């Protein structure tokens, strides 16, 4: 094993992070190669910097006129230069401040400086690299985002343990969650991922449910299990009901117990309506970690980034920074949130006016971009195909059981008609007509 990996492992040994590292995670390190040496030269090479593989003229990166004309607000170094492996320092600092602002119970000393990654999907995959080895079980919701299977099971050969998240008549199935945590804790290690607001259901825990979840996880940690808690916060902030937990579970988990390693995976993709930026953040948090431990974890993450994409998109980082500093952004985001909330309310109104469908049971939803139906006695995939082929309506099936409808992408005035077609098609499919 490389001596730099050994040094990081020695630093992390004895902590929850060190115990949770996968074999690959233990091998990862950030090399003292081109990137590290270039960073040193940037500070000290006053006469000439002949390190990085970029072309300069009179101290400025070369840039094509066609590109410069498209991004006139960006300097050449903001538009076409490489970003540091962990991200633009100012962007990392601003995002940390934003996390603290939106999660007021979180203390700064219980979190690392966020690291920029090329999208939330990449961030989840990097965390699988660091902490999920072959055969390791990871708990996740049923239903869940279909990409988890590719990331954790196919890429890392982990073992998915799906938990039926939702009970009846609505809300989280706290009994199922508690039982799954306690069973996993018997092995001495619990790995789990929470995705709130949830994809595909569009559900976030209530304040009471979030407190109960935190208590369950704290209990298994106090009983001696190490806990890896991944918080996939892709849709964070898009809450539509007063009783939704408005803070990320990361806030409580990062401060709950020294045996809990919480990791926040978030970014502007959905929150700031920049889906194609492919930019996310990874933030570590644990009561049992100090600043030097966070630095060690960040270096291992930098090794994962360096060995895959090298760094995240530079112009996206600067554009995000400029948007967060723009005085128009806050009001526009509030306007967009209101637009989505009105669509959510239209869906709720339709469901209230059309209760007890014989083939469709709506899963609880209160946030995010989606809601989903559990299909009873019919195939969700067959319904999806029927809606697309005969009615020109696109939806997503999750296996044979769940149909996801993204109300965020439907105009408000279209919602009653679209949902009526879905209801009628499901009823006809169930009756064989």
User: What CATH number has the domain bearing residue 341?
Assistant: 3.90.1150.10
Share of the chain above pLDDT 70, in %: 95
Same domain, yes or no, for 179 and 254? yes
Q: What is the pLDDT of residue 301?
A: 98
User: Strand pairing of 56-57 and 60-61?
Assistant: antiparallel
Residue 60 has pLDDT above 80, yes or no: yes
List pLDDT tens digits, range 183-198: 999 999 999 999 999 9
255-309 residue pLDDT tens = 999 999 999 999 999 999 999 999 999 999 999 999 999 999 999 999 999 999 9
Query: Is the domain of 396 the same as that of 413?
Result: yes
21: left (phi over 0), alpha (psi -120 to 50) or beta: beta
Same domain membership, residue 65 and residue 12: no
Per-residue 3-state assignment (H helix, E strand, C coil) for 212-256: HHHHHHHHHHHCCCEEEEEEECCCCCCECCCCECCCCHHHHHCCC
Nearest to 85 by CA among 319, 282, 365: 282
State the Cα–Cα distance between residues 433 and 422, nearest whole angstrom.
15
Q: Which of 31-35, 171-175, 236-240, 331-335 has the lowest mean pLDDT?
A: 31-35
Question: pLDDT tens digits for 311-361?
Answer: 999 999 999 999 999 999 999 999 999 999 999 999 999 999 999 999 999
> Which one of 303, 325, 347 terminates a domain?
325
- Let me know if residue 144 belongs to a domain: yes
Checking if the pLDDT of 38 tops 70, the result is no
pLDDT at 52 over 90: no
**Number of neighbours of residue 71 by Cβ within 10 angstroms:** 16
CB atoms within 10 A of CB 155: 13
pTM higher than 0.85: yes
Residue 372 confidence (pLDDT): 97
42: pLDDT strictly greater than 70: no
Report yes or no on 77 lying in a domain.
no
Q: Report if residue 79 sits inside a domain.
A: no
Residue keyed to tokens 């090794």: 303
Average pLDDT over residues 378-389: 98
Q: Can you tell me the distance from the alpha carbon of 136 to that of 123, in angstroms, rounded to the nearest whole number?
A: 19
What is the span of the domain harbouring residue 64? 31-72
The residue that leads in pLDDT, 172 or 38, is: 172
Whether 286 and 173 share a structural domain: yes
- How high is the pLDDT of residue 360? 97
Examine residue 255 and state whether it is found in any structural domain, yes or no.
yes
CA distances from 98 to 19, 66, 95 (A): 30, 34, 5
Per-residue pLDDT tens over the stretch 96-108: 999 999 999 999 9
At residue 249, does pLDDT exceed 80?
yes
Is the confidence at residue 423, as pLDDT, over 60? yes
Boundary of a domain, candidates 269, 304, 325: 325
Q: What is the mean pLDDT of residues 99-118?
A: 97
3-state secondary structure at position 171: coil
| % of the chain exceeding 90 in pLDDT | 91
Same domain, 113 and 57: no
Look at residue 416 and give its three-state secondary structure. helix
Give the tokens for residue 396: 């997503």
Give the confidence band of 155 by pLDDT, cuts at 50, 70, 90. Answer: very high
Side-chain-side CA neighbours of residue 55 (13 Å): 3
Separation of alpha carbons 403 and 416, rounded Å: 17
| Whether residues 104 and 208 fall in one domain | yes
Q: What is the pLDDT of residue 44?
A: 65
Element (H, E) at 345: helix 329-353
**Pair 272, 319 in one domain:** yes
User: What mean pLDDT comes out for the span 16-26?
Assistant: 98
Return d(Cα 403, Cα 201) in angstroms, integer.
Answer: 9
Looking at residue 79, its pLDDT comes to 96
Residue found under tokens 């690392």 = 112
Region 39-55 average pLDDT: 68
Give backbone dihedrals phi and psi of 284, rounded to 5 degrees, phi first: -95, 150
Are residues 152 and 269 part of one domain?
yes
pLDDT at 49 over 90: no
For residue 228, the cross-strand partners are 191, 261
- 58 pLDDT tier (thresholds 50, 70, 90): confident
Same domain, 194 and 144: yes
Cβ neighbours, 10 Å, residue 247:
17
8 A C-beta contact, residue 401 and residue 238: no
pLDDT of the residue at 32 = 86
Residue 260's pLDDT is 98
- CATH classification of the domain holding 117: 3.40.640.10
Q: How many distinct structural domains can be found in the chain?
A: 3
Tell me, what's the pLDDT at 106? 97
Residue 80 domain-assigned (yes or no): no
Based on the domain organization, do 113 and 7 belong to the same domain? Answer: yes
Asked whether residue 46 carries a pLDDT value surpassing 70, the answer given is no
Q: What is the pLDDT of residue 417?
A: 97
- Per-residue pLDDT at 35: 63
Q: Are residues 99 and 56 in the same domain?
A: no
Q: For residue 142, is pLDDT > 80?
A: yes
Inter-residue long-range contacts of 361-366, CB under 8 Å, 24+ positions, other chains counted: 363/143, 363/166, 363/201, 363/202, 363/203, 363/402, 364/166, 364/170, 364/171, 364/201, 364/203, 365/201, 365/202, 365/203, 366/197, 366/202, 366/203, 366/204, 366/239, 366/240, 366/241, 366/244
Asked if residue 17 lies in contact with residue 297, where contact means CB atoms within 8 angstroms, the answer is: yes
pLDDT tier, 43 (very low <50, low <70, confident <90, very high otherwise):
low
- Pick the last residue of a domain from 18, 42, 72: 72
Q: Is 245 domain-assigned?
A: yes
What is the tens place of the pLDDT at every residue in 356-376? 999 999 999 999 999 999 999
pLDDT of the residue at 167: 76
Question: 300 and 345 share a domain?
Answer: no
Res 78 pLDDT > 80? yes
Does residue 271 lie in a domain region? yes
What's the whole-number mean pLDDT along residues 126-136?
98
Q: 188: which DSSP letter?
A: T
Q: Is 429 helix (H, G, I), strand (E, B) or coil?
A: helix
Residues 6+ apart with CB under 8 A from 348: none
């Amino acid at each position: 094993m490389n001596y730099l990996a050994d040094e990081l492992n020695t630093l992390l040994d004895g902590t929850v992070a060190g115990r949770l590292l996968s074999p690959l995670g233990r091998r990862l390190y950030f090399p003292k190669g081109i990137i590290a040496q270039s960073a040193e030269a940037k500070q000290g090479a006053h006469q000439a910097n002949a390190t990085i593989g970029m072309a300069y003229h009179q101290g400025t990166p070369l840039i094509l006129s066609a590109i410069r004309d498209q991004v006139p607000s960006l300097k050449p170094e903001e538009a076409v230069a490489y970003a540091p492996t962990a991200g633009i320092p100012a962007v990392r600092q601003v995002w940390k401040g934003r996390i603290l602002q939106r999660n007021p119970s979180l203390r700064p000393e219980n979190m690392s400086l966020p690291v920029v990654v090329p999208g939330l999907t990449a961030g989840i995959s990097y965390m699988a690299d660091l902490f999920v080895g072959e055969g390791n079980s990871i708990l996740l919701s049923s239903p869940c985002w279909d990409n988890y299977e590719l990331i954790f099971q196919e890429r890392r050969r982990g073992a998915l343990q799906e938990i039926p998240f939702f009970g009846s008549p609505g809300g989280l199935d706290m009994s199922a969650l508690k039982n799954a945590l306690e069973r996993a804790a018997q092995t001495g290690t619990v790995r789990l991922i929470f995705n709130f607001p949830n994809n595909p259901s569009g559900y976030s825990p209530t304040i009471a449910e979030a407190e109960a979840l935190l208590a369950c996880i704290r209990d298994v940690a106090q009983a001696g299990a190490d806990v890896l808690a991944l918080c996939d916060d892709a849709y964070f902030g898009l809450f539509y009901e007063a009783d939704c937990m408005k803070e990320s579970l990361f806030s409580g988990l990062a401060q709950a117990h020294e045996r809990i390693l919480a990791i926040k995976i978030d970014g502007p993709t959905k929150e700031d309506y920049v889906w194609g930026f492919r930019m996310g953040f990874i933030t570590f948090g644990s009561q049992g970690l100090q600043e030097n431990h966070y630095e060690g974890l960040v270096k291992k993450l930098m090794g994962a980034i360096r060995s895959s994409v090298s760094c995240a998109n530079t112009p996206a980082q600067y554009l995000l920074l400029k948007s967060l500093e723009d005085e128009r952004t806050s009001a526009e985001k509030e306007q967009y949130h209101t637009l989505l909330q009105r669509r959510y309310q239209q869906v709720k109104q339709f469901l209230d006016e059309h209760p007890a469908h014989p083939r469709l049971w709506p899963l609880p939803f209160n946030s995010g971009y989606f809601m989903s139906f559990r299909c009873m006695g019919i195939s969700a995939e067959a319904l999806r195909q029927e809606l697309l082929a005969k009615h020109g309506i696109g939806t997503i099936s999750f296996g044979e059981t769940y149909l996801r409808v993204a109300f965020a992408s439907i105009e408000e005035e279209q919602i009653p008609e679209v949902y009526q077609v879905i209801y009628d098609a499901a009823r006809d499919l169930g009756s064989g007509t």
